[in-house]
Amino acid sequence: MALFKKSQVYDQNRQKTDDEDVRRSKNKVSAMFTSVLTVMKISGAVLSTNRYCGSKVKYMLHVIFCCIMQLIPIFNAFRFIGAFLSATVNPVLRHIAGGFYAMGTPVICFMIYGISSGTLLWEDGFKMIGTIVINLVAMFAITFKGASINSMAHQPLEELHNFDMSVLPDKTVHQIVIFTNRLTGPPIGVSVYGLFVIDYSTVLMVFGTIITYAVIAIQFTSTGFPSDSCLYNNTNVTFTT
């Protein structure tokens, strides 16, 4: 009888510890979405020109988030966040990003080549400058958005490192270790057709690529061809054999 009571006390203490772990984990996961909810509140207020609507958007998102947290196991929440970002954002942004990277860079280089040739009218020059600015803004906007998604997907790694593993059940510790190994493995985010995953280093890569090809285009213009200079100077060339 005493052994049965002792077992009951142990089970109650174990349940209390698990409930406390769940509560702390929910707080940590909720803290991760604070910045996202704030952005949604500001966006709702700006779009509707009514601060009440912005608060309503934030409240609705918070209710949806709480419902999701009740439907899935708490320590699968971090895994759910990464899978949600990859499954919903990647299929859309990878085509947009790939299209802008494949078409935007050549367009910018051709526009720079046309401007540096010096044979265009002012109106055409301003149109080309506008095209360059639009392509640059679009490319860097997509790149920064993809980099922020990559950073958000890997953000749970810092939260998981702050857990006190000594008070967690063995099964939970095993799940955390598996998920941590996933976060430290291949990067999570927007994959441009499997070539690379957009992160903050991609910003430097895109900027360097545009600068490199722009310099080559300008050098092409300044060098020219001998036949071109002859035509511009209205000179005749006689070939003798």
Provide the Cα torsion 100, 106, 107, 108; round to 10°. Answer: 100
Contact call for residues 162 and 68 (beta carbons, < 8 A)? no
Give me the residues paired with residue 191 across strands. Answer: 197
Task: Pick the closest to residue 163 from 34, 24, 70 (CA basis).
Answer: 24
Cβ atoms of 168 and 21 closer than 8 Å: yes
- Cα 240 to chain centroid, rounded: 63
- DSSP at 197: B
**How many other C-beta atoms can be found within 10 angstroms of the C-beta atom of residue 241?**
2
pLDDT tens digits in sequence order for the chain, 241 residues long: 544 444 544 455 555 555 565 555 555 555 555 555 554 444 444 444 455 555 555 555 555 555 544 444 544 555 555 555 566 667 777 788 888 888 888 888 888 888 887 777 888 888 888 888 998 888 888 888 888 877 777 776 776 666 666 666 777 677 677 777 776 767 777 778 878 888 888 888 888 888 888 888 788 776 654 444 444 455 554 544 4
What is d(CA 10, CA 14) in angstroms, rounded to the nearest whole number?
6
pLDDT at position 191 is 79
Question: Which pLDDT does position 232 carry in this prediction?
Answer: 45
Q: What is the C-alpha to C-alpha distance for residues 181 and 204, in angstroms, rounded to an integer?
A: 27
Helix axes 2-32, 77-117, angle to 10 degrees: 20
Residue environment code for 55-71, b if the CB has 16+ CB neighbours within 10 A, otherwise e: eebbeebeeebeeebee
- Count the alpha carbons within 13 Å of 30 in the hemisphere toward its beta carbon: 16
Tens digits of per-residue pLDDT, 89-115? 677 777 888 888 888 888 888 888 888
Q: What is the pLDDT of residue 92?
A: 73
**Is there a contact between 128 and 111 (Cβ–Cβ < 8 Å)?**
yes
Domain ranges within the chain, ordered by starting residue: 27-71, 75-224
